[in-house]
A = this chain, B = another copy of it.
């Protein structure tokens, strides 16, 4: 049945097919002590701690089936969770996946999502270890990522200190710019691709943690909003240098996209002055004493966006 739906297969067979596509059993990851098929999975936590984060994607809110392939949706759902582990200075070990599917969802679509999840997780050596499915009106994907800190303290949002250098890594503003192009009818190109599949700089979270980063944050709601979290949690003023920021933007991306777009899953944070920066990390500003604010060339930047409004 090439056009089989979730209803045609039933839940148990759907889970069996998705599990097979995830190639979990064949992956023999040394991070997974017990994979899917039991009441719960067992994952290694080498230093006696585990990083854990959950993000949810809803069809029509976070993606459209017309604009993104199922593989794209799987990549993006995995990426936004793996990026949260990166932003603690950790490396993801495992994903758990809850899929709410309409009964008429094509099985091939669900299998495509599984492929995307599997392949994005593989970029950091993580595997999908468990999950659940249920029936609903719209596709909902809820992902939990687990991760390892390799013995280091987690890098929070609250450690930025006056005198620190503000740094960014990864691609800024491309997701918002790509979404605007999709809305204008474009269906191809590097920015559209980056909207469909963000490219978090996974290795640079642990690298910056090892280099002594004082704060790190996943850039999921735009640089203004996410560095605003650092400013508030640390009680500092985060100053951005317009010229340096503009110099790292890809073609076709505006400063507005980088400051106020969403879903880039880039990395931002602070390091003590004089810290040698790992390749791919760029200095774009400086931390000053509070009050908490994000400034661009000394002027306050508006922040934030809301999912319910």
A42 touches B51 (CB 8 A): yes
> Given contacts A39-B87, A87-B39, is CB(A54)–CB(B308) below 8 Å?
no
State how many copies of this chain the complex holds. Answer: 2
CB-CB under 8 A from A14, the residues of chain B are 308
Cβ-defined partner of A96 (8 Å) among B40, B54, B90, B147: B54
Binary contact track A107-137/B, C-beta < 8 Å → 1, others 0: 0000000000000000000000111111111
> Given contacts A14-B308, A306-B10, is CB(A132)–CB(B55) below 8 Å?
yes
Q: Does A183 make an interface contact (CB < 8 A)?
A: no
Please indicate which of the listed interface residues A103, A131, A307 has the most CB atoms of chain B within 10 Å of its own CB: A307
- Complex Cα distance, B157 from A131, in Å, reads 17
B39 touches A84 (CB 8 A): yes
Please indicate which of the listed interface residues A38, A39, A129 has the most CB atoms of chain B within 10 Å of its own CB: A39
Cβ-defined partner of A50 (8 Å) among B45, B103, B132, B138: B45
Q: Does A203 make an interface contact (CB < 8 A)?
A: no
Cβ-defined partner of A85 (8 Å) among B40, B48, B100: B40
A11 → B minimal CB distance (Å): 4
Cβ-defined partner of A7 (8 Å) among B34, B84, B308: B308
26 A–B contacts from the bound complex (CB under 8 Å): A6-B308, A10-B308, A11-B308, A12-B306, A37-B157, A39-B217, A40-B84, A40-B87, A40-B88, A42-B51, A42-B149, A44-B48, A44-B49, A45-B48, A47-B48, A53-B130, A54-B96, A55-B132, A56-B140, A58-B100, A58-B135, A58-B136, A61-B136, A103-B308, A136-B138, A140-B142
